[in-house]
Amino acid sequence: MKKHTLLIAPLAMSLMLPLMLVGSASAFAYSGGGLEGYEVGVKADISGLPRVKQELVVAPALPKHEQTATGGPKIIEVRMVIEEKEIEIEPGVFMWAMTFNGSVPGPIIVAHEGDYIELTLVNPETNSLPHNIDFHASTGALGGGSLTLVNPGEEVVLRFKATRVGTFLYHCAPGGAMIPWHVVHGMNGAVLILPRDGLKDSDGTPLRYDRAFYIGELDYYLPKDANGKYKRYPNPIASFADDMEVMKTLTPTHIPFGGTMGALTGDNAMHANVGESVLFIHFQANRQSFPHLIGGHGDYVWERGNFNDPPAHGLESWVLAAGSASAFIYKFRQPGVYVYLSHNLIEAVLLGAISHVIVDGEWNNDLMEQVSAPRKIE
Ligand code: CU
């Protein structure tokens, strides 16, 4: 089977699923370095570039990184191990997740424009399905998807140049119906490509952030039994036919910020302090979302994560397009609990598209005060 099969029709791909499950480990092997069947016109010259290992971390954290790059371009080495595992979406409700590095969402990768990201993608023998990765930040080969398809027991190394600045989605895209199925089982994450000289406002004035949070918004389509109870399955593939029926309704059963219900609320809330500027990165692979910070604003908003364009200033809500990641910076001016959600309030409150930021500091009565506490109407 050749990589071109990635492009075949969804139905045919579904029918081929059993074949893919037993595909030989060498079926996708190609050592030419580029896309099979095409001559190399531009050779990479990365000799002499320093190599830096980036330790990926679990969301909402970002890996350690510089906001302004020191020195020239680097090769950023990252390693992701794919893990198929059952996760509890809410108490008593389970789903076989397909994960990059064991977490939903997958970890965020950070680089600067001109750097090279070199990913080792590992699909251990303990998994049951082929997986790959499509980086929206990259150029060519279906975002790298054609060059990274690995069967259980295989690993692959992909290097791509960060030529676009911004925040970008990545996701698994193994072909046909497998694409949305893997995505709505957790296989997505984001890449942050910063300008080498850092972020700027619309006047070109440098913007710094004191901390950053990374929020993955998932949409799940979990099947129920005849009694309306969510079904539990013995392995990842067992739910496929049922999942397809729910997915085709386009009506998610859960839309959690952070991969599971309450992953970023209450005791799991994000924390910041008054006076701090916080960078938020938020992706949605499959649907649109309407970011809004209750009690605050988007001071600087890159709605499409497009750092080469000036940010919008002072927004109340904006649109996160399906298949994208957006970014905004807000400087917290008051202490208290802030709610960051999708301002489809049904999706936020009933389906999980919600998170909390707890902010410490001193209250500013000039910005707001309760002039009179609640009292009986006289
Ligand atoms: Cu996958």
Kindly compute the dihedral angle of the four CA atoms of residues 72, 73, 74, 80, in this order, to the nearest 10 degrees: 150
Distance 262 CA to ligand 1 centre (A): 24
Distance 84 CA to ligand 1 centre (A): 9
Q: Do domains 6-32+49-196 and 254-360 have the same CATH topology?
A: yes
Task: For residues 299-316, give the mean pLDDT.
Answer: 97
Distance 140 CA to ligand 1 centre (A): 19
CATH class for the domain made up of 6-32+49-196 = mainly beta
Domain boundaries, the chain: 6-32+49-196, 254-360
Q: How many helices (H) and strands (E) does the chain have?
A: 4, 20
Query: Can you give the pLDDT at residue 3?
Result: 39
Distance 235 CA to ligand 1 centre (A): 14
Distance 132 CA to ligand 1 centre (A): 6
Distance 181 CA to ligand 1 centre (A): 8
For residue 330, report the phi and psi dihedrals to the nearest 5 degrees.
Answer: -135, 135
Distance 75 CA to ligand 1 centre (A): 25
Distance 238 CA to ligand 1 centre (A): 15
The conformational region for residue 158 under phi > 0 = left, psi -120 to 50 = alpha, else beta, is beta
Distance 174 CA to ligand 1 centre (A): 6
The average confidence (pLDDT) of the chain is 93
Task: For residues 357-365, give the mean pLDDT.
Answer: 98
254-360 carries CATH number 3.40.630.40: no
Question: pLDDT tens for residues 67-91?
Answer: 999 999 999 999 999 999 999 999 9
Distance 267 CA to ligand 1 centre (A): 31
* pTM for the model: 0.92
Distance 125 CA to ligand 1 centre (A): 14
Give the burial class of 298: count Cβ atoms within 10 A of its Cβ; 0-12 exposed, 13-18 middle, 19 or more buried: buried
Query: Can you give the pLDDT at residue 31?
Result: 62
